[in-house]
Structure 1
Amino acid sequence: MRLFHSFAALLFGAFASLAHAAQPATVRLDYAHSGNALADSYAIERVVIEPLPWPGSAARNLDDTNRGQNRVEVVDPKTGDVLYSRGFSTVFGEWRTTEEAGRISRSFSESVRFPQFAQPVRVRILKRDERNQFSVAWSIDVDPNAPDVVKRQPPAAAKPIPIQVSGPSPDKVDLLILGDGYTQTEMKKFEQDARRLSAHLFSVSPFKERAEDFNVWAMAVPTGQSGISRPSTGVHHPSALGTRYDIFGSERYVLTLDNRALRDIAQHAPYEFIEILVNNETYGGGGIFGQFSTAAAGNDWADYLFVHEFGHHFAGLADEYYTSPVAYAAASGRMEPWEPNVTALRDPAKLKWQRHVTAGTPLPTPWPKADYEAASRAYQKKRAALREANRPESEMSALFREDLKQTNALFDRQPHRHAVGAFEGANYEASGYYRPAMQCLMFDRSNAFCPVCRDGVTDIIDLYAGSVRQ
C-alpha cells in the first residue's frame, strides 16, 4: 500500500507538471447572489487566479446540453464570441422556492470558474425566463491582470489523495471527494470511505462503462470533533466546509452554505465536480447541479446516497419521487422542466425520451399509483415517528429496506414494469409531472438508473471527456 501511495504521488506530480506547462490558468469569479422569491441581484466579491491550471480541454469549452437553471458565458467583449459556457444551478435558486423566501431576502455566495484567455473577457450569468429560455441576468467585465485580482493565496490546508488517475486532466472528468467532520485521527477512515464509495459509483451504469474517463481525488481538512452539525438535535460542530443537516428546514438535507470556504479548499486539487462525504451515520445528502453533492458516508444507504446525489450534481437529474416531504413550495405552473428525466407531457408525440419508448406503450403509462401512494403514506408516517422519537439509525435503515421490498413486490406484478413511458408522479408533484420508468435510482432506493437517466449522465461525461465534437 505504501508503494502504491508513493507511485500515485509521483503520478499526480507528473500530470500536474504537464498541465502547468500546457494549460491556461484557472480564473474564479466569486460574487454575491441576493434576493427573495420575487427578485434577485448580483454583486462582485473578487476575482481569483487559482493555484492549479485549468483542468478542462479547450476543445470542449462550449456546453450544448441545455442543462441547469443558470448558465455562465465567457465572451470576447469586442466580438461577442462565446469563448466558454456551462450550465449550472444554485443554492439560491433552491432557497427562493421555499416559504421563507416569500417573507425575507437572503444573500448567498456563488462562484463560476473558467480558463484564462489572452484578453480581458465579459462574464455573463444567464437564467431561465418564463419561456424556459436563457436570458442575461448579470454581466461584468473581468481582466485577470487587474491589480485587485487575487493571485497568491495561503498554502493548502490539506493535500489531495489520488484515488484513481486515468490520464491527464484535460482528457478526463476530474471528481474531487471532500471530507467534512473527520478528525485528524480519522483521516485514514476518510480515505477508506472515499475509495469505497467511488468504487461503488463505478459499479453503476453508465459510470461503470466509462470509469476510465474519470480521475478521482480525495481531500479533507481535519475537524476538532467527529461528525458535522445537526442543529435540530442540538449538535453544532464547526468545520472548515461548514456542511450541516437541516438545510431549509429539511432534516435529511445536507449542504454547505459557505461557498467561499468550499472553493478555497477545493482549488488545491484538480476538479470539475465535487462530492462531500460527511462523517455521520444519520441518513442525509443533497446535490446541486454544477455545484456539489453530499452524502452521509457512515449511513447504511451511503452507496445509494452517493450515486443519487451525484446524479443531481453531475447530470442535473431531477428527483422522480413525490411522496416524501421536501423544503420546496409547489410550483404554480407546469412549465416543461429542463431536467432530462422529467416532463410535463404537454405533447406526448414530442416526448423528449421518445426514442426509448416502444411502439404501443401508452402515454401516460399505467402503474399502480393509488396502491403505491397508500403504502407510501403509511411508510412516511412511520419514518416521521422514528425521527421524532430520535430512534437509532438502524431502525430507520430497516424501515427503508422494508419500504423498498414492498415497492418491488408491488411493481413486479405490473405489465409495464420494465417499460420506458411516462409515469405520472415526479419532481415532488403527484400530478402534472411524469418520469420515464416505473422505478429508477432517482425515484427510490433501487440500485440502477433507468435508460433516460443513463443517457443524461452519458451526455455530461461526453461533454468533459468524450470525442471532440466538430
Structure 2
Amino acid sequence: RNSFSTLFQEWQEEPEALTTERSFENVFLVPMPKDTVDITLDLRNNRREITSKLTHQVVPTDILIRQIGYRDVTPFETIQQAKDTNNCIHLAYLAEGYRPEEMGTFIQDVKMAMEALFAHEPFKGMRDRFHIVAVKSPSKDSGASEPGKGIWKNTALHSHWDTNYSERYLTTSNLKDMHDLLAGTPYEHILVLVNSERYGGGGILNSYLLSTIHNKWSKPVVVHEFGHSFAGLADEYAYENEEVNMYPLDVEPWEKNITTKVNFKGKWEEMIGKKPGVGLVEGGGYKMKGVYRACNDCRMRTNEIPEFCPACQKALRDLINFYTE
C-alpha cells in the first residue's frame, strides 16, 4: 500500500485547509497490465477512514496511452551497479536547478550524497543491493524559487521553499514532470538534489526526497529525508509551539519508529531491555505527549545525531530485505 501523499496529509492539518480547497498531483508506478484492469485508489484520513475513492480503468491497447521512455531519454550516468541488477533497489538522483554547464558539479554532488547515505547502517552493510543512476535534467536557472524573497526560478521541477508557509520546507508539486524526466531510466526511488547553498528539503513517502546539497547540513538532511521517502519513517521531534495533530492518540501510527501504544506489537518491543538505550521515550510525530519513540535521539530527530536508532535501523533493514529477498 502506498500513501497518496504525505505532503497532502500534512496540508490537511494546516489552517489554510479549513477555508481552501486544493488539488495535489501524484504519480503511481504500476506494471503495464496484459489485459484490461481497474485500478482503485482509496483516500483515507488519519483514522484510516475512507474519505474519497477513484477507480480508473486501464486498457493496454488504448491508443491514447502515451508511450514514452523509448527515445529522447534524459541523459543519465550509472554511479553504482548493484551486485544483482535483476534483484535490487533502483535509486535515481535527479538534477534540479543545474544548468547544462553545471552537470559536472551535479555528478560530484550525487557521489557526495550517495556516500553520505552509505555511511549509515543498515545502508552501509547492504550497499551492494542498490543500483544508482544520476539523471541530468537541465534547468534554465540555477537553484530553486524562494517565494519569501520574491525570487522565482525557471527550473526542471519548479521546486520552491515556503511549502505550507514553512520557511525551510523545500518541495515540488510537479510530479508528472518528474516522472516524465525519468522515463526510460531504471528507478524506483527518487532523490532530487537542488543546486543551492540554502538550508532546506522535504521527503514524501514513496514519492521523492528533495534537498539542497551545498549547505553544511546537506548530508544529514539528505539521509533524514530518505528515511521519510524510502521507508516512511516518521519525524521523531516535537515542539511545544508547533504541535501538529497528524497522529490521533487512539490510533496506532503505521510508521515503524513511533507508537501511541495502541498496537505496539511488531515495532521495537523486542529490543526493550536487550539493546542499550531502547525503550519508550515520550515525544515524537510533532506531539510532546502521547506519541513515543524508541531512543532519546536518532537521525530522524536531529541533524547532529550521526546514526539511525535501532528501531529505525530495523525498519530500514526489513524494507531492504522485502525488496531484495
What TM-score comes out, normalization by structure 2 length? Answer: 0.92
Give per-residue Cα distances to partners, 1:292-335, cap 9 Å, x unaligned: 00111001011101100000000000000112876x84348312
Which residue matches 2:292? 434
Is this contact kept in 1: 2:235–2:284, CA < 8 A?
yes
1:192 to 104, 108, 113: 108
The separation in 1 between residues aligned to 2:110 and 2:241, in whole angstroms, is 29
- For residues 118-129 of structure 1, the aligned pairs below 5 Å read 118-128=34-44
Say what the alpha-carbon RMSD is for the aligned residues.
Answer: 2.4
Which residue matches 1:421? 279
TM-superposed deviation, 1:88? 5.7
| Pair 130,315 (structure 1): closer, same or farther in 2 beyond 3 Å | closer
Give per-residue Cα distances to partners, 1:151-203, cap 9 Å, x unaligned: 24794363111110114543110000011111222111100000111012111
TM-superposed deviation, 1:452? 0.6
Amino acid at match of 2:285: N
TM-superposed deviation, 1:87? 5.4
TM-superposed deviation, 1:142? 1.1
Give per-residue Cα distances to partners, 1:196-229, cap 9 Å, x unaligned: 1101211100000110000001113222222111
- For residues 392-431 of structure 1, the aligned pairs below 5 Å read 418-431=276-289
| Pair 228,324 (structure 1): closer, same or farther in 2 beyond 3 Å | farther
TM-superposed deviation, 1:281? 0.9
Which residue matches 2:58? 142
Is this contact kept in 2: 1:424–1:435, CA < 8 A?
yes
Aligned residues: 323
TM-superposed deviation, 1:460? 1.8
The separation in 1 between residues aligned to 2:26 and 2:5, in whole angstroms, is 10
| Pair 330,129 (structure 1): closer, same or farther in 2 beyond 3 Å | closer
The separation in 1 between residues aligned to 2:188 and 2:70, in whole angstroms, is 22
| Pair 429,156 (structure 1): closer, same or farther in 2 beyond 3 Å | farther
| Pair 224,114 (structure 1): closer, same or farther in 2 beyond 3 Å | same
Which residue matches 1:108? 24
The separation in 1 between residues aligned to 2:85 and 2:3, in whole angstroms, is 20
Is this contact kept in 1: 2:47–2:248, CA < 8 A?
no
The separation in 2 between residues aligned to 1:332 and 1:355, in whole angstroms, is 23
Is this contact kept in 2: 1:340–1:453, CA < 8 A?
yes
- For residues 308-319 of structure 1, the aligned pairs below 5 Å read 308-319=224-235
* 2:203 is the counterpart of 1:287: yes
Which residue matches 2:146? 230
Q: SS of the counterpart of 1:439?
A: coil
The separation in 1 between residues aligned to 2:129 and 2:270, in whole angstroms, is 26
2:312 to 453, 459, 463: 453
Which residue matches 1:354? 269
Amino acid at match of 1:447: P
Which residue matches 2:185? 269
| Pair 153,428 (structure 1): closer, same or farther in 2 beyond 3 Å | same
Give per-residue Cα distances to partners, 1:102-131, cap 9 Å, x unaligned: 111111221111112322212121344665
2:77 to 138, 153, 161: 161
| Pair 87,110 (structure 1): closer, same or farther in 2 beyond 3 Å | closer
Is this contact kept in 1: 2:73–2:183, CA < 8 A?
no
* 2:71 is the counterpart of 1:117: no
5+ residue gaps in structure 1? 1-70, 72-85, 362-417
| Pair 325,457 (structure 1): closer, same or farther in 2 beyond 3 Å | farther
Is this contact kept in 2: 1:421–1:436, CA < 8 A?
yes
- For residues 48-63 of structure 1, the aligned pairs below 5 Å read none
1:297 to 190, 213, 216: 213
Of 154-163 and 212-221, the range deviating more from structure 2: 154-163
Which residue matches 1:402? none
Which residue matches 2:248? 333
| Pair 131,246 (structure 1): closer, same or farther in 2 beyond 3 Å | closer
Q: SS of the counterpart of 1:113?
A: coil
Is this contact kept in 2: 1:229–1:237, CA < 8 A?
yes
**Bigger strand fraction:** 1
Is this contact kept in 2: 1:88–1:291, CA < 8 A?
no
**Bigger helix fraction:** 1
What TM-score comes out, normalization by structure 1 length? Answer: 0.64
The separation in 1 between residues aligned to 2:55 and 2:294, in whole angstroms, is 37
TM-superposed deviation, 1:251? 0.8
Q: SS of the counterpart of 1:244?
A: coil
| Pair 358,101 (structure 1): closer, same or farther in 2 beyond 3 Å | same
Is this contact kept in 1: 2:203–2:228, CA < 8 A?
yes
Q: SS of the counterpart of 1:112?
A: coil
The separation in 1 between residues aligned to 2:224 and 2:142, in whole angstroms, is 25
Is this contact kept in 2: 1:172–1:214, CA < 8 A?
yes
